[in-house]
Each structure stands twice: as structure tokens, then as C-alpha cells.
Amino acid sequence: MTLQDPAWLDRVYNNRALVPDHAEFLARWTTESEQVRAIEPCTLDLPYGNGPRETLDIFPATGDAKARTSAPVLVFIHGGYWRSLDKSGHSFIAPSFTREGFCVVMPNYPLCPGTPDRPVGIPDIVLCIVRALEWTWRHIAEYGGDPSRITVAGHSAGGHLAAMLLACEWGAVAAKLPTNLVRNALSISGVHDLRPIQHTPFLMDALRLTEVDAQRASPALFPAPKARTLYAVAGGDESEAFASQARLIQDAWGKATVPVCDILPGLHHFSVLDALIDPTHRLHQHASRLLGA
């Protein structure tokens, strides 16, 4: 991806500026998520590590008895440009999947830039999410999930993290972890090459992204993961940068690994999550297909 001038980068990556009513989406997500946690079965704030925000929520499958004991697992990672938002604002996503017989896990992670005594960069967040997935593999059976069928989905920064997890060499993380711990991933409006982000003015102070870190945390610069599948999607009403980022990962990893690169008409960076929870929308169907693979 060609680096552009700072004004162009601010224009194409600043989604809140591009969607004037973004605050209404965030407020609705918060309200609907509170309602979901009040009425749906869930286990909240389970620690997967020892650091701040290293917790996750689990929403078990609510289908038949078999689904409740061996459900495919969807791990959903929230966005916020690695510097904002929280899993608690995304609980609204769970019911559309739990009611189809899937177990949903939502991890939090520390946010950039952290604190002076505990700074946080994007590579630190990647390692935290790796720990969250390791915890999920080791413990999800206790909550009715099948650890051999884990699919990761993420939105925006979460899409980046989902792709990183797909590319992870799990056998090198810890003893006895399966090499295919994450077999499938869905990147929704994900950022797969961080080098433009390194030069985007409104993000620079929070992310403090160095050239080295941009290189080592860009999944599009990695070899294609073997025997794994990524779907990359973006909204048709998003800026050209997000469609470009979706096509970039398909070009980098090839159609054998990224068979779906879908630019969804009529959706912007926030409404795309409404499509994810709509069983009639093809974005939801993409996710269900990966979960059932």
C-alpha cells in the first residue's frame, strides 16, 4: 500500500469524521449490550491474564442440548483503533450467534498508549489477544464450546487482530497448543498493513507506532498461513482505504487463503456491525459459514 500525504491519511482513516452520526451508533450499541447482559446467559470479566483489561466475556450457545455442549466458538474482537472502546459495548452482537448454536467469546485488551509506567503498543495488544485465545482453547469446553472449532472475527482494529491470530504460529506460543488453534477468521473493515497508520496524524500520539512495530504487526507482510481461511470484508460506503486494505490482504495471502474479499454495498464503518447481526445479510452468512466449516 502506497503511503500518502498526512491530510489524505486523516481523511480516509478517521471514521468518526466520515460518519457524522457515529455517536448514535456507539450509544445504541452500549444500550443494547446492557440489555443483552441483563437477559442472556453470560459469564463476565473472566481473567485470561494478569494485566489491566485482560478479561473476557462468554455467551454460551442457547440452542439444543448438543449445541450447548459442543458449540463452535466465535471470538469477537472489538475495534477502536487500538486506543478506545470496550467489549462491554459489543455484547449486542452475541445473541444472533448464540441462538444459532454458537458460543461467543469477547475479550478486552489494554489500550494504547497505556500509562507512563506501563506503556502499551500494538505488538503488546497482539500478545494479549494471543493469551486470550490460549485461555479460550484451554477453558471453553467448561462453557459448552468446542476448542477444536474456534473462529475469530474482529471489526476495524479487531479485524487486524483477527488476521494476526490466524497467522500466529501457535505451536511456538506454548507447549501442546494445536498448530491450527485458529482455523478461520473474519476481518471486518480490518487494517492489514499498519504502515499508513504510522503516518496518520490523528492516531500518532496514541499509537506511537514505530517503523519496526508497523512491519512486525502487519499481517499483510507475513507469509500466507497454511491450511487456514480468512474472509476480508469492508463496507461499500467506507473510505477507499478500507476497501484497499481488504484487497491488500487477499493479494498478499492469495485467494487460496483469502477466498472472500467482499465490499458490501450501502454500509459504512459503523453500520457494518448491524449487518453482522442480521441473519438475512450476507455478512452474517459469511460468519456462519466460517463457524460451520
176, part of any domain: yes
113, part of any domain: yes
Q: Taking all residues of the chain, what is their mean pLDDT, rounded to a whole number? A: 95
CA distances to 30, 214, 232, 246 from 192, rounded to whole Å, are 27, 10, 10, 8
128, part of any domain: yes
Read off the pLDDT band of 179 (50, 70, 90): very high
**Each residue's pLDDT tens digit, 146-169:** 999 999 999 999 999 999 999 999
Q: Answer yes or no: are the C-beta atoms of 249 and 219 closer than 8 Å.
A: yes
67, part of any domain: yes
CA 125 – CA 112 distance, rounded (Å): 8
Q: Answer yes or no: are the C-beta atoms of 252 and 263 closer than 8 Å.
A: no
Q: Which pLDDT does position 64 carry in this prediction?
A: 64
List of residues 6+ apart from 7 with CB closer than 8 A = none
Burial 37-74 (b: 16+ CB within 10 A, else e): beebebeeebebbebebbbbbbbbbbeeeebbebbbbb
- In this structure, what are the phi and psi dihedrals at residue 230, rounded to the nearest 5 degrees? -125, 135
Average pLDDT over residues 267-286: 98
pLDDT at residue 128 tops 90: yes
208, part of any domain: yes
Query: What CATH number does the domain containing 183 carry?
Result: 3.40.50.1820
pLDDT at residue 67 tops 80: no
Q: Which pLDDT does position 203 carry in this prediction?
A: 98
Q: Which pLDDT does position 1 carry in this prediction?
A: 46
Structural domains of the chain, count: 1
- In this structure, what are the phi and psi dihedrals at residue 5, rounded to the nearest 5 degrees? -70, 155
For strand 118-119 and strand 114-115, is the pairing parallel, antiparallel, or unpaired? Answer: antiparallel
Q: Which pLDDT does position 154 carry in this prediction?
A: 98
Whole-model pTM? 0.96
1, part of any domain: no
pLDDT at residue 61 tops 50: yes
Q: Answer yes or no: are the C-beta atoms of 197 and 203 closer than 8 Å.
A: yes
Q: Which three-class secondary structure state does DSSP give residue 185?
A: strand
| Domain membership of residue 84 as a residue range | 6-292
CA 30 – CA 245 distance, rounded (Å): 28
DSSP per residue, 193-209: --HHHHT-HHHHHHH--
185, part of any domain: yes
Q: Which pLDDT does position 175 carry in this prediction?
A: 80
Q: Which pLDDT does position 177 carry in this prediction?
A: 94
168, part of any domain: yes
Read off the pLDDT band of 284 (50, 70, 90): very high
- Cβ neighbours around 259 below 10 Å, total: 12
